[in-house]
Structure 1
């Protein structure tokens, strides 16, 4: 079922949002100092291409310990991300959600865009895992 939903997702804006994340990640990698943000953009870009059956969870909860991206530096990184990329990606998800919600078949995809709009401002310190793995670890 998730394969069918992922294919339909591409039609309802997933391809454009995934490419947006990838383009931002590429631009961040070019700057050298933006590599940590570029890595997060690529991780979320891959999630945008195949979102059904996968979730983003905190790395601290997943690993059972804090690391450099889940503490104060992660918060600072998320603030920088929000200013340069997060706000624009959030707007993109909201606009995509609006257009998906116009059709009945697009409503589940609109809800998915809204979920991503809430995650787009703060991707640093997250890891993408399958829903089954998240359930097994008690994270979903």
Structure 2
């Protein structure tokens, strides 16, 4: 079932979403200071291409906590709100509920990306 979900997701917007995250990651990695943010964009890109059947495991230490606080203030909240809003819209219909759940997964990762591992 996850293969079918990933194919539908990829065709219906996952390709565009993943490519935009890859482009953002490449732009962030131009500077040395932006490399950690660029790496998080690459993490989002991997999940944006094929989210079904993948799990996000949260962990990390003090450095991850500090980086997550900075990330949350700079760009985490708008990303999470946007993905959560799209998830709510998808959940209006029964057919859209699996897609909405994937948007909620991405929204949670948008809040705390540092220290999280996508498996």
**TM-score of the two chains, using structure 2 as the length reference:** 0.82
Residues 68, 113 of structure 2: 8 Å contact kept: yes
- Structure 1 unmatched runs, 5+: 61-69, 130-140
Q: How many residues align?
A: 119
Determine which of 82, 87, 91 is the counterpart of 2:72: 82
Task: Give the Å deviation of 1:6.
Answer: 0.6
RMSD over aligned CA atoms reads: 2.1
Determine which of 80, 88, 91 is the counterpart of 2:81: 91
Matching residue of 1:6? 6
Matches within 5 A, 1:1-140: 1-11=1-11, 13-58=13-58, 70-129=60-119
- Structure 2 unmatched runs, 5+: none
Give 3-state SS (helix, strand or coil) of 2:114's partner: coil
Q: Partners of 1:119 and 1:3 in 2: how far apart?
A: 22
Task: Give the Å deviation of 1:95.
Answer: 2.6
Q: 1:73 to 1:50 in 2, by over 3 A?
A: same
Structure showing greater Rg: 1
Q: 1:25 to 1:82 in 2, by over 3 A?
A: farther
Give 3-state SS (helix, strand or coil) of 1:33's partner: coil
